[in-house]
Amino acid sequence: MSTPGIPHVDNATMLAFERTRLAHERTLIAWLRTAISMISFGFTIYKFFQAQADQGSVAAVKRLLGPREFALVMIGIGLVALVLAAYQHRQSMTRLRAGSDRITVPISIGMVVAVLFSVLGALAFAAVLFRG
């Protein structure tokens, strides 16, 4: 069933469009996995050394890049990577939508998850930063 005035999209074009969209989704999800790993690794390092310091088993040594600073760097890099990947994905989806007014592009679940994890990462960053 075709809309009057808009030519019918053939099956090959529709499938090519869908493959391209899914490739962009996979790329975002790959960046999401990487960012989540960096954020969680940084936060884990921080909590591990904080627990060691609370037990008194590790003496507090002031270094240029201690566990807290390392955690901040890891979480920060993860957040930046996630934000840049989400921005790139949004640009790609905008170009895809502009490329064809006959094909609808669904909402990206990967983007929703990326936004949720960026909020979680920002909270982790704030927790490490302000906890001191």
**Residues 16-33: pLDDT tens digits?**
889 999 999 999 999 999
93 within domain boundaries: yes
Residue 5 lies in a domain: no
Other CB atoms within 10 Å distance of the CB of residue 45: 17
Q: Is residue 2 part of a domain?
A: no
Is position 4 within any domain? no
80 lies in which domain range?
11-131
Domain count, the chain: 1
pTM for the predicted model, two decimal places: 0.81
Q: Does some domain include residue 3?
A: no
6 found inside a domain: no
The verdict on residue 1 lying in a domain is no
- Dihedral pair phi/psi, residue 57, rounded to 5°: -80, -15
Provide φ and ψ at 2, rounded to 5°.
Answer: -115, 145
Asked whether 43 and 76 are in contact (CB, 8 A), the reply is no
pLDDT at 31: 96
Q: Which of 125, 97, 111, 129 is nearest to 26 (CA)?
A: 111
Is residue 95 a part of any domain in this protein?
yes
Q: Number of helices and strands (H, E) in the chain?
A: 3, 0
> How do residues 46-70 score in pLDDT, each as one tens digit?
888 888 878 876 666 677 788 888 9
Please check the confidence at residue 78 and state whether its pLDDT lies above 80.
Answer: yes
